[in-house]
Structure 1
Amino acid sequence: MVQLELLTSLLLFILLLLFLLFIKTCFTYAIKSNKSSSPPTKLPISYPLIGSNLTLVANMERSNQWIIKLLQNTTATHNGTNILDQSLGYPQLITTNPLNVQHILKTQFYIYPKGDIFRDGLSSFLGSGIFNADGEKWKFQRQISSHAFNTKSLRKFVETAVEVELHNRLLPLLSMTTTQKSVLDLQDILQRFAFDNICKSAFGFDPNYLSPSFPQPETEFAVAFEAATLLSTMRFGSIFRWIWKLKRALDIGSEKQLRIAVLFQAGPRICLGKAMAFLQMKGVVAGVMRQFRVVPAENGFEPVFVAYLTPKMKGGFPVRIEERGGE
Structure 2
Amino acid sequence: MSLKANLTHTPYLGYIGAGSALVFGTLLAMYPDRAVFAESRPDLTGGREWPLVGNLPMLIQMRDKAHDVAYEAFKELGSTVSFTAFMFPRQIMLSDPRCVEHVLKGNFENYVKGPTFHAAMDDLFGHGIFNADGKEWKWQRKTASQIFNVKNFRDLFTEIFVDEIAYMKQNIFDVAADRQEAIDFHSIMFKFTLDSFVRIGFGVDLECVKKPGKIPFAEAFDAAQTMTARRMLSPFWKAEEAVAGFFGKGMKDYVKVVDKFANDVIAQRRAHPNKAEFTDLLSRFMQASDENGVPLNDRQLRDAILNMIIAGRDTTAQALSWSFYVLSNHPKVEAKLLEEIEQYVREDMQADDLYTAIKDMKYAHAFFYEVLRFYPSVPTNQKYALGDDILPDGTHIKKGDYVAWSPYAQGRLERVWGPDAAEFKPDRWLVDGDLKKMSQGQWPSFHAGPRVCLGQNLATLEALVAICLLLKRYHLSLVPGQDITYALSLTLPMKNGMKVMVERRQ
- Aligned with 1:63 (options 44, 66, 70): 66
Alignment of 1:126-205 (within 5 A): 126-150=125-149, 152-153=151-152, 155-205=154-204
CA distance in 1, matches of 2:216, 2:491: 18
Structure-2 change in CA distance of 1:257 and 1:249 (3 Å): closer
1:231 aligned residue:
227
Structure with more helix by fraction:
1
Alignment of 1:305-324 (within 5 A): 305-324=486-505
2:469 aligned residue:
287
2:431 aligned residue:
none
> Does the 8 A contact of 1:44 with 1:55 survive in 2?
no
Give the CA deviation at 1:64. 1.1
Question: Is 273-282 or 123-132 further displaced after alignment?
Answer: 273-282
CA distance in 2, matches of 1:53, 1:96: 22
Secondary structure, counterpart of 2:233 in structure 1: coil
- Aligned with 1:54 (options 40, 54, 57): 57
Give the CA deviation at 1:233. 1.4
AA aligned opposite 1:304:
T
Give the CA deviation at 1:132. 0.9
Moved over 6 A (4+): none
Q: CA RMSD in A?
A: 3.0
Give the CA deviation at 1:109. 2.2
> Does the 8 A contact of 1:297 with 1:320 survive in 2?
yes
2:238 aligned residue:
245
Secondary structure, counterpart of 2:475 in structure 1: strand
> Does the 8 A contact of 1:295 with 1:320 survive in 2?
yes
1:37 aligned residue:
none
Secondary structure, counterpart of 2:251 in structure 1: helix
- Aligned with 2:75 (options 72, 80, 94): 72
Give the CA deviation at 1:98. 1.3
> Does the 8 A contact of 1:193 with 1:210 survive in 2?
yes
Alignment of 1:265-304 (within 5 A): 265=259, 266-267=299-300, 268-270=303-305, 271=308, 273-298=455-480, 303-304=484-485
> Does the 8 A contact of 2:82 with 2:90 survive in 1?
yes
Give the CA deviation at 1:275. 1.9
Give the CA deviation at 1:51. 3.5
Higher relative contact order (CA 8 A, sep 6+): 2
CA distance in 2, matches of 1:195, 1:55: 35
The TM-score normalised by the length of structure 2 is 0.50
Secondary structure, counterpart of 2:72 in structure 1: helix
AA aligned opposite 1:122:
M
Give the CA deviation at 1:154. 6.0
Bigger Cα Rg: 2
CA distance in 1, matches of 2:127, 2:48: 34
AA aligned opposite 1:98:
P
AA aligned opposite 2:457:
A
Q: How many residues are aligned here?
A: 279
Secondary structure, counterpart of 1:62 in structure 2: helix
> Does the 8 A contact of 1:225 with 1:261 survive in 2?
yes
> Does the 8 A contact of 1:123 with 1:132 survive in 2?
yes
Give the CA deviation at 1:97. 1.3
- Identity of paired residues, percent? 25
AA aligned opposite 2:75:
Q
Structure-2 change in CA distance of 1:311 and 1:189 (3 Å): same
Structure-2 change in CA distance of 1:98 and 1:225 (3 Å): same
Secondary structure, counterpart of 1:313 in structure 2: coil
Unaligned runs of 5+ in 1: 23-41
Structure-2 change in CA distance of 1:221 and 1:47 (3 Å): farther
Give the CA deviation at 1:103. 1.1
Give the CA deviation at 1:256. 4.9
